[in-house]
Amino acid sequence: MTKSTFVYVSYIRTTPEKLWSALTDAEFIKQYWFGVTGDSQWTPGSPWRLVFPDGRVADSGEILEADPPRRLVIKWRNEFMPEMHAEGYGLCVFEIEPAGEAVKLSITHSNDHENSKFIAAVSGGWPRIISNLKSLLETGAVVLK
């Protein structure tokens, strides 16, 4: 399933363990994800949801792989935009690798649709979220609210 793919990479001055918990802690996610949060047990097979501040479900799916603090794979489907929902499930892979004094975070988001509307939409959102996450981990504050 790789007809539409985006790859995002950021080097963050933190530890793999802190980055892993930043990706999987509901309260922490809220701080850099513009109020949205992730709801899951973060273990293989457990359901996963991304929830808006008002409680509506933005996206949902399942944790396919969880290898803390190295690799997280989420089966991911949009739930609030009919056109994107119709594209079905895609995959979001988080990879965490030590890189000198920093940690390299790679996020690969893909699905099996040519010119996917969903992948185009996340391509706009991820850079802002990652930039906020990096800032929060490095300085304790987000840049964008």
Q: Which residues bind another protein (CB under 8 A)?
A: 2, 5-11, 106, 108, 123, 126-128, 130-131, 134-135, 138-139, 143-144
Residue closer to another protein, measured from CB, 42 or 118: 118
Residue closer to another protein, measured from CB, 51 or 133: 133
Picking from 59, 68, 14, the residue whose alpha carbon sits closest to that of residue 39 is 59
Residue closer to another protein, measured from CB, 2 or 43: 2
Provide, rounded to whole angstroms, the least separation between the CB of residue 133 and another protein: 10
> C-alpha 7: how far from its chain's center?
12
Burial of 2 (0-12, 13-18, 19+ CB in 10 A): exposed
64 in Cβ contact with 48 (< 8 Å) = no
Residue closer to another protein, measured from CB, 39 or 112: 112
Picking from 122, 124, 127, the residue whose alpha carbon sits closest to that of residue 111 is 122
Picking from 62, 50, 125, 58, the residue whose alpha carbon sits closest to that of residue 90 is 62
